[in-house]
Chains A and B, each alone.
Chain A
Amino acid sequence: MYINIKDLSVTYRSSRGDVEALKDINISIESGKFVSIIGPSGCGKSTLLKVIAGLVKPTRGEVWINGEKLEGVPRNIGFVFQEDTLLPWRDVVGNVELGLEIRGIEKDKRRKRALELIKMAGLEGFEHKMPHELSGGMRQRVALIRTLAYDPEIVLMDEPFGALDAQTRVILQDELLKIWQETKKTIIFVTHDLGEAITLSEVIVLLTRRPGTIKRVCNVPIPYPRSALNVRLSNEFTEIFNDLWRDLREEVVKVKVHETKAGG
């Protein structure tokens, strides 16, 4: 077992009282798996990722990575955020080599690695562009290769394609699938898009509405290599989609009812 989460609960303290984000999460994620976490908005999906990244401390419970109990930020982890987190004052190369720079890799080496990745991502010619000169899709591509640059064993992705248009999304999903198959990194991918979760992952973890608990863990038996576009046309996809959609819908509807009650 690579990542092991035991009895995890997270409660946020705020001035308007405590908010329970996650409750009694128990899950094991094997090395090299592509796991998606899905659930209604506000169910604590992002919080779960932040706990694994060491950015949020669990209120109760433990996270074990590779047999070590998590304390602070784990060493070999990458995080692709939904928000734009490229440093706006650095050009593309400068951003891609950031993780290597933090690890004290000498300038020539890290530049070489960054240029390789830029080439791989099809961003040649944009090495010295500033982030604000790139499109949203290009920026997320840079964010992705910036994470790959220092070769983390686990990559956490928090709705990384959420802000992109549908076409760019499919292209980046394909690229991510390719990268995962080549590198076999452990990927934990948070999304609220069920189709995206089925397209990409081997395992889907469905969370309930807040406080988020695990409602269901489901395997996606579609063989790899997959193509983001063609997967959606297969019978398995429709089957899994309908099956999971019932459970997801139930949670989303509960949230809506809850909100209406609170509002009224």
Chain B
Amino acid sequence: MKLKPEADARKNALEIVKKAVRVILVFIAIFIIWEIISYCRIIDPFYISKPSLFLMDLWSLFKTGYIYKHIYVTMYETGLGLITGVATGLIAGIILAYYKNVYDIFAPIFASINAMPRIAIAPIFILWFGIGVLSKIALIWTTVFFIVFYNTFFGVKNVNENLVNAIIVMGANRKQIIRLVILPSVISWLLASMRPSVAMALVGSIVGEMLASSEGLGWILIYATGLFNVTRLFSILILLAIIGVALDYCVRAMENKFLKWRPS
């Protein structure tokens, strides 16, 4: 294998193409079966629409430019919710892992909030922050914060003590210990929390928009449901699936980039 690296690369590329083709074929098959079921009225198309219809609808949503604003709003909420949740969760995780007395105060509070079904907090957020983006960001924050907080907390607690001792002996102060050992080892735990965080952030923005809003993909879903527009529902669901997969792909790419130092 060492003799022909270029042949190896070509073989890998071929594998990836093969895999992609297989996935696409599976989806095409599902859509064809779906189309037939709908066309032959085995199930009433009123409930399940038709792939030909919702794919055309999705196309027109982009062509007319109607969808861009809503994608932007949903992504804006998801993004800001993620950033605030990750930043605060990271800081809180480090502080609580480091300072026992702060932990004793906050740990039970965090545990009880985390035990609550987060969606139950949504009405009070709408009351406080209105139906705009702020209430959604707050809702996302409550989910992402805890995922990141607990991962960071256990990450700090699991820091290799030998590494810490080694740099203490070199004369490192507390700040340097955090920067040189704790943060880098926590990053691997943090990255592990990123995939569920991103997924939960998307859920948070959509659910928030469905409860009360005037824009965003979640709002389109509720609006279309009100009009019994099943075709529109499916076009948005397909769009959300694509967005979800794309975000997940980005997170995994980030993981691979930052965890290069790990033995594979």
Contacts and interface: CB of A to CB of B under 8 A. Distances in A.
A88 interface: yes
Interface stretch (A10-18, A73-81, A221-229, A244-252): A73-81
Contacts of B263: 132
A55 B180 contact: no
Interface string A74-97: 010111010111011110000000
Given A81-B162, A88-B261, A98 B167 contact: yes
Contacts of A83: 162
Kindly state the interface size class of chain A when it binds its partner.
20 to 34
Nearest to B263: A132
B165 A55 contact: yes
Contact of B169 (A73, A89, A103, A132): A73
Nearest to B169: A79
A147 to B, nearest CB: 8
A161 interface: no
A87 B180 contact: yes
Kindly state the interface size class of chain B when it binds its partner.
10 to 19
B171 to A, nearest CB: 5
A230 to B, nearest CB: 33
19 contacts: A54-B169, A55-B168, A55-B169, A73-B168, A75-B171, A78-B170, A79-B165, A79-B169, A85-B166, A87-B163, A87-B181, A88-B261, A89-B185, A89-B261, A90-B261, A101-B180, A102-B176, A132-B262, A132-B263
Interface of B: 162-163, 165-172, 176, 180-181, 184-185, 260-263
Given A88-B262, A102-B167, A102-B171, 20 more contacts: A55-B168, A55-B169, A73-B171, A75-B171, A79-B166, A83-B162, A84-B162, A85-B166, A87-B184, A89-B261, A98-B167, A98-B180, A99-B170, A102-B170, A102-B180, A103-B171, A130-B260, A130-B261, A150-B171, A156-B169
A53 interface: yes
Contacts of A99: 170-171
Contacts of B170: 78, 98-99, 102, 150
Contacts of A156: 169
A101 B176 CA distance: 10
A88 to B, nearest CB: 6
Contacts of A77: 169
Nearest to B172: A102
Contacts of A79: 165-166, 169
Contacts of A81: 162, 165-166
A90 B263 CA distance: 13
Residue among B165, B169, B172 with the highest chain A CB neighbour number at 10 A: B169
Contacts of B181: 87
Contacts of A84: 162
Nearest to A50: B165
A3 to B, nearest CB: 15
Contacts of A54: 169
Contacts of A73: 168-169, 171
Contacts of B180: 87, 98, 101-102
B94 to A, nearest CB: 17
B158 to A, nearest CB: 14
Nearest to A85: B166
